[in-house]
Amino acid sequence: MGAIRVAVAGVGNCCAALVGGVQFYRGGDFVGLIHEEVGGYAVSDIEFVAAFDVDRRKVGKDVSEAIFSEPNNVIRSVEVPRLRTSVRMGPVLDDMGAFTKDLIDIAEEEAVDIAEELREKKADVLVNLVSGGAEKASRFYAEAALEAGCAFLNATPTTIANDATLSRRFKVAGLPVVGDDLLDQVGATVVHMGLLEFLHSRGARIDESYQLDVGGGAESRDTLERTKDLKRRIKTAAVAGSVPYEFPLVSGSTDYVDFLGNVRDSFFWIRGRYFGGAPFTMDVRMSTADAYNAGAVLIDMIRGTKLASDRGMAGVILPLSAYGFKSSPERYPISAAYEMFKSFIEA
């Protein structure tokens, strides 16, 4: 099928997990992958040809080195060889919060021309992994993808695929766009959705439920300071769609604990009724390596986006957005979204 030339905006923990994961699966051990192939594309077909960040400790370094530079604290699961792709300086467009600016050491050099870099590197897909609170930067990278003729994958909560005007421009340009806000492999939101869907399918009635997250990664810190309310709205809306009726529901991040590192602890509580009106409660705790939760889904989305480009598809690619993101322009239950994705890649 050929290579998939990938550019990444934001060389943080999720980027580290993605790059490390691609290297890991070159070894032939496919544990943890959702799909070994997507439309004929293997994980080994993914090549990282461009990367952008604003931190002095990453800019100018080979991606293989930058992904393990501070403030990244992802668990190193594999040695990544030099990729011969250096991190270039991106634009600084958003205000840093009080917490976030303590983490980021802004490089002094000028930003490169992102669109020109994408053209020069012949990037097929630009993956947006900038901080969730960097809304201006996310929209800037989307515009750069449009200018460069590059598909766009928005893993952040910034409204891109859900922006009717912007998504229409991708359609007119003949380019795919997918998003918004990546749905993790075994993250809190998708697990919460799965629990509620299962209970509903077994005839239980959900009366109340909450999901709360505590994490130690940079994204957890950024979420607490800049996107807590936005993320809570997105997560709650995604979880609420798991059953066909309304009930009191809260879903979101609650705190940052530095010594957790790149670990996220998630807590679920569900109260409801089943046969004969008998009551039940469910209390669940889950702990995950936060960044690695993004890897398998990103790998599927990158390959699916390239497949959409190969087929001449443009604008929002609904089977990808519904399956891989919390805030798809149209929402479906997990099982239905997965069937849409399978039909898409097998067509």
Q: How many CB atoms lie within 10 A of CB 119?
A: 15
Q: Which of 48-57, 87-96, 254-263 has the lowest mean pLDDT?
A: 254-263
Alpha carbon of 218 to those of 56, 98, 167, 232, 294: distances in Å? 16, 13, 29, 18, 14
Stronger pLDDT, 129 or 96, i.e. the higher one? 129
List the domain boundaries for the chain: 4-183+292-346, 188-289
Residue 87 pLDDT class (50, 70, 90 cuts)? very high
One of 3.30.360.10, 2.30.29.30, 3.40.50.800, 3.40.640.10 is the CATH number of 188-289, namely 3.30.360.10
Q: Which residues contact 64 (CB under 8 A, 6 or more apart)?
A: 19, 80, 81, 82, 83
Mean pLDDT (the chain) is 93
Residue 214 has pLDDT above 60, yes or no: yes
CB 161 within 8 Å of CB 178: yes
Please determine, for residue 227, whether its predicted confidence score (pLDDT) is greater than 70. Answer: no
In the 8-state DSSP scheme, what is residue 258? G
- 125-128 and 151-154 strand pairing: parallel
Segment 302-322 shows an average pLDDT of 98
- Per-residue pLDDT, averaged over 317-325, amounts to 98
Q: Check residue 226 and give its pLDDT.
A: 59
Average pLDDT over residues 73-90: 94
CB 44 within 8 A of CB 26: yes
Q: If pLDDT is split at 50, 70 and 90, which confidence band does 225 have?
A: low
Alpha helices in the chain (DSSP H): 13-25, 63-66, 100-103, 114-120, 135-148, 164-173, 188-201, 218-222, 228-240, 292-310, 318-324, 334-346
| Per-residue pLDDT at 240 exceeds 60 | yes
Tokens describing residue 103: 């983490």
Q: Highest-confidence range of 228-237, 296-305, 330-339, by mean pLDDT?
A: 296-305
State the pLDDT at residue 156.
96
In the prediction, which pLDDT does 344 show?
A: 97
**Per-residue pLDDT tens digits for 262-291:** 889 999 999 999 999 999 999 999 999 989
pLDDT at 224 over 90: no
User: Is domain 4-183+292-346 annotated with CATH 3.40.50.720?
Assistant: yes
What is the Cα–Cα distance from 160 to 23, expressed in whole angstroms?
Answer: 29
* Number of C-beta neighbours around residue 22 at 10 A: 23
pLDDT at residue 99 tops 70: no
Q: What is the pLDDT of residues 18-57, one digit of tens each?
A: 999 999 999 989 999 999 999 999 999 999 999 999 999 9
* Mean pLDDT lowest among 11-15, 90-94, 97-101, 206-210: 97-101
**Position 97 confidence tier, pLDDT thresholds 50, 70, 90:** low
Rounded CA separation 254/260 (Å): 14
The per-residue pLDDT for 309 is: 98
Contacts 24+ apart (CB under 8 A), 35-43: 35/300, 35/303, 35/345, 38/300, 38/303, 38/304, 38/307, 38/345, 39/1, 39/303, 39/304, 39/307, 39/310, 39/345, 40/1, 40/307, 41/1, 41/4, 41/303, 41/306, 41/307, 42/1, 43/299, 43/303
